[in-house]
Amino acid sequence: MSLRQRWWLLGSLVTSLLLAVAFYALQQHRMQTHVIANAATQREFALAEEALAERAKVAASLLAESLVNPIYFFDLQRIGEVLGGALNHDDIGYVLLIDRDGRILHDGRDNIAQFGQLPDDEFATAAAAVTRPTVFVTEHFVEVAHPITLGDQRIATLRLALKRGDTLAAPLTAAVVMPPWLDALLLASVIAGFVGLLGYGDRRFVTPQLRTDARLQQLARVHAGAAIDVDPNTALARVEQRLVGFERELQQLGGIDALTGLPNRIALRQRIDEAIEQAQAVEDGELALLFIDLDDFKRINDTLGHDVGDEILATVARRFSDVLHSEHPGEQGFIARFGGDEFVLLMSGRDARRRAGEIAELLLSSLRIPLNIADQLLHVSASIGITSFPEDAADASRLIKNGDIAMYLAKVQGRNCTRYFTNYLTRLAEDRLAIEQDLREAIDHDELKLHYQPIIDFDSGHIHGAEALLRWHHPSRGLISTALFVGIAEDVGLIDALGDFALRTACETAVRWPRSAGRAPFVSVNVSVKQLRDHRFPARVAQVLADTGLAPELLHLELTESSLLDGESGAIIALETLHGIGVKLWLDDFGTGFSGLNHLRRVPVSGVKIDRSFVTDLLTDRHDVALTSAIIAMARSLDITVVAEGVESAALAEVLEQLDCPYGQGYWFGEPTHSEKLVELIIAQRYGDRSQTNVVPIS
């Protein structure tokens, strides 16, 4: 074998050996690099997810506070506003409100597509049973399940999920992990170096060796340079930078409301906490909180558009700020936008509770001046609830919740007013919640009944028809006031179920009544404003009539003047549709509302019922006699029917007969009774027995 052959054979063996060594060194370096990268990445992920979980807890806590009263009053519109606002944030994956039965009450969408469904995810059961805020982590989300309570009772559970970032550690990993193409380049360089060494080895031995050394040093420098960033301190520094970013984002959330320029809810919470600490540090330290909610703002927003709604909120915020800082420059107050159409004013110092009442009146007065927005004058009012520290609450959460409860009381008692929180309100709210739950069960178990109060024809003494009245005899509470449970039904969204039950049951019953004085008695059913606002209501009435076979003219629907004011155009369209299919429409409590004569002109009314407040004093008040006589005369001239309510004595019945009132209703003629008893009265009158009624026709 020649020297050249031996040289190349030796070179090949040496080259193979060096390649194996280089490959082994690269693999060892890659393994060490991955260990460092994975450790840093896992550390970063752990810290980032911890920060993400804290953000989710804060967001869920804030939403839960805003949802207590809307859930209690089953205000789906307000619930939708709160949850929908949360969904507008890009980092929120989903939000679900779960009721006490574990079903979805709201999902933040306009159509509430998942309403009434049972969540089917892996955490559904556990999330519905949590007693404190609990974090659940999935591949794509970090979720917090937050229980919502009123007093000691859980009323719902909020599930809020933030999206997990799937590229969180990408920059760090790219910095510390050597890319595969660099491995290949290094190996190729080794091969090329040794091939060059062998090529020149025939002529020179020292120079190729020196060149080989230089090449290896160069490779080592390249190799070392790729791992410059493989430094745990650098990795942790990047993690800290990310956490600082998270913290900054949280702080921005606690800043200023972009629309109104007022502090927002998080800033308010911080201020309340600080104010409580300051009040506790001094003798007789006192705080007062005013919870302010604009009345019927959603209807304005939906009718005129969100741009107008935003301008209203900004204008109201300026007026409230002017009241606090201009009219009372020395007042120690802090006003914030709590969310939606809600504002909160915090006052501190001696006698804060009393001063809060004075400020509340000034706030209401500031809204009595119309708002000039979009070239139109708009009238806005507000309801205000006032609570104080330490008299009513010892912490910020309870203080806000009490103010919210007092505000809802102001709305229930007429709006555009102020109400103070008392401990009685908490007991009342808890009792009302219990009645609400019992009412749901009563509807499901057919505990509600209809009684019928006869309406008498003064001329003949016969029963002309009857008004259907809901009755609920509670197993332990006894007879529940109709006004109470119907009011609760309207607040919590059960009025449709009650209304449908009353309508269908009344029609099914009336179609079986015997004829009285040659004609079939009618049945009248009360209709709420919320039913009139539903565009599907006329179709439901028509379907019930078709199902039961009751003639449309034998169904009288009673509505109040206030329901026309509240529903306005939508209500009038519904009433015109009902009139078109033959249903009779009556105005109840006529004379007690606004614009009664205007309603007679605009609405296809078949009759009016004179309110009992006029009838009761007919024997002693000549003004009531004049008003009642005028209503009867007006009805005759318009060719509509009149019924006098509240006829409780023979003397009242006699006066009404003398005033030519055609029909009467009241306990003098008969108390509300079940249908079987009413049928007995009709049959008795058919055979001339009027002993069971107190009507004797005037000859």
Nearest to 298 by CA among 517, 70, 123: 70
Which 3 state secondary structure label does DSSP give 240?
helix
- Using an 8 Å Cβ cutoff, are 554 and 510 in contact? yes
Same domain as 173, residue 141: no
Q: Quickly state the pLDDT bin for 427 (edges 50, 70, 90).
A: confident
Same domain as 120, residue 15: no
Helix ranges (H only) for 471-595 are 482-492, 495-510, 529-533, 537-548, 561-567, 569-580
Task: Say what the alpha-carbon torsion angle 624, 628, 629, 632 is, to the nearest 10 degrees.
Answer: 180
Give the model's pLDDT for residue 359.
92
Task: Give the separation between CA 56 and CA 52, rounded to whole angstroms.
Answer: 6
Helix ranges (H only) for 169-205 are 170-176, 180-200
Task: Give the separation between CA 473 and CA 517, rounded to whole angstroms.
Answer: 34
Give the model's pLDDT for residue 594.
45
- Using an 8 Å Cβ cutoff, are 433 and 72 in contact? yes
Higher pLDDT, 376 or 524: 524
Q: Quickly state the pLDDT bin for 535 (edges 50, 70, 90).
A: confident
Nearest to 66 by CA among 83, 88, 51: 83
Nearest to 461 by CA among 657, 625, 606, 633: 657
> 220-224, 296-300, 326-330, 584-588 — which one is most confidently predicted on average?
584-588
696, part of any domain: no
pLDDT exceeds cutoff 90 at 317:
yes
Mean pLDDT, residues 193-211: 54
Backbone angles phi and psi of 351, in degrees to 5: 60, 35
239, part of any domain: no
Same domain as 142, residue 158: yes
Nearest to 136 by CA among 204, 257, 49: 49
260, part of any domain: no
Same domain as 189, residue 145: no
698, part of any domain: no
pLDDT exceeds cutoff 70 at 564:
no
Give the model's pLDDT for residue 113.
73
Of 184, 217, 232, which one is at a domain's C-terminal end?
232
Q: Quickly state the pLDDT bin for 374 (edges 50, 70, 90).
A: confident
Q: Quickly state the pLDDT bin for 258 (edges 50, 70, 90).
A: confident
pLDDT exceeds cutoff 90 at 141:
no
Same domain as 388, residue 272: yes
473, part of any domain: yes
Long-range contacts of 573-582 (CB under 8 A, 24+ apart): 573/535, 574/532, 574/534, 574/535, 574/537, 574/538, 575/532, 575/603, 575/604, 576/604, 577/538, 578/538, 578/541, 579/604, 581/538, 581/541, 581/542, 581/545, 581/552, 582/551, 582/552, 582/553
CA 296 to chain CA mean position, Å: 14
Q: Strand 333-339: give its sheet, edge to edge.
A: 333-339, 342-348, 287-294, 382-389, 418-420
Degrees to nearest 5, angle at CA 395 with 392 and 401: 65
Give the model's pLDDT for residue 638.
86
Mean pLDDT, residues 566-570: 55
Q: Quickly state the pLDDT bin for 225 (edges 50, 70, 90).
A: very low
440, part of any domain: no
Same domain as 190, residue 278: no
Of 183, 216, 232, which one is at a domain's C-terminal end?
232
Of 117, 136, 163, which one is at a domain's C-terminal end?
163
pLDDT exceeds cutoff 50 at 210:
no
CATH number at residue 137: 3.30.450.20
- Using an 8 Å Cβ cutoff, are 383 and 416 in contact? yes
pLDDT exceeds cutoff 50 at 424:
yes
* pLDDT tens string 102-121: 888 888 887 777 877 888 88
- Using an 8 Å Cβ cutoff, are 655 and 677 in contact? no
Could you tell me the two tokens for 202? 């025939």
Q: Quickly state the pLDDT bin for 229 (edges 50, 70, 90).
A: very low
* pLDDT tens string 593-645: 544 565 666 778 899 998 888 888 888 888 889 988 988 998 888 888 999 99
Mean pLDDT, residues 290-316: 87
Same domain as 403, residue 326: yes
For residue 104, list its beta bridge partners: 98
* pLDDT tens string 674-699: 999 999 988 887 665 555 555 444 33
- The residue whose two tokens read 């909610």 is 293
Dmax (CA) of the chain: 153
Degrees to nearest 5, angle at CA 536 with 297 and 595: 55
Give the model's pLDDT for residue 549.
95
Higher pLDDT, 229 or 465: 465
Give the model's pLDDT for residue 183.
56
For the chain, the average pLDDT equals 79
Task: Give the separation between CA 336 and CA 263, rounded to whole angstroms.
Answer: 5
Higher pLDDT, 253 or 576: 576
pLDDT exceeds cutoff 80 at 493:
no
Range(s) of the domain holding residue 538: 450-686
Same domain as 221, residue 122: no
Higher pLDDT, 78 or 218: 78
pLDDT exceeds cutoff 50 at 176:
no
Task: Give the separation between CA 91 and CA 142, rounded to whole angstroms.
Answer: 11
208 prior amide bond cis, ω within 30: no
Higher pLDDT, 175 or 366: 366
Nearest to 52 by CA among 187, 164, 139, 181: 164
CATH number at residue 492: 3.20.20.450
Give the model's pLDDT for residue 301.
78
Same domain as 332, residue 299: yes
Q: How many domains, in total, are found in the chain?
A: 4
Task: Give the separation between CA 100 and CA 128, rounded to whole angstroms.
Answer: 8
- Using an 8 Å Cβ cutoff, are 300 and 378 in contact? yes
208, part of any domain: yes
Same domain as 149, residue 13: no
Same domain as 648, residue 519: yes
CB count within 10 Å of CB 261 equals 12
- Using an 8 Å Cβ cutoff, are 44 and 235 in contact? yes
Task: Give the separation between CA 92 and CA 72, rounded to whole angstroms.
Answer: 25
Same domain as 470, residue 390: no
435, part of any domain: no
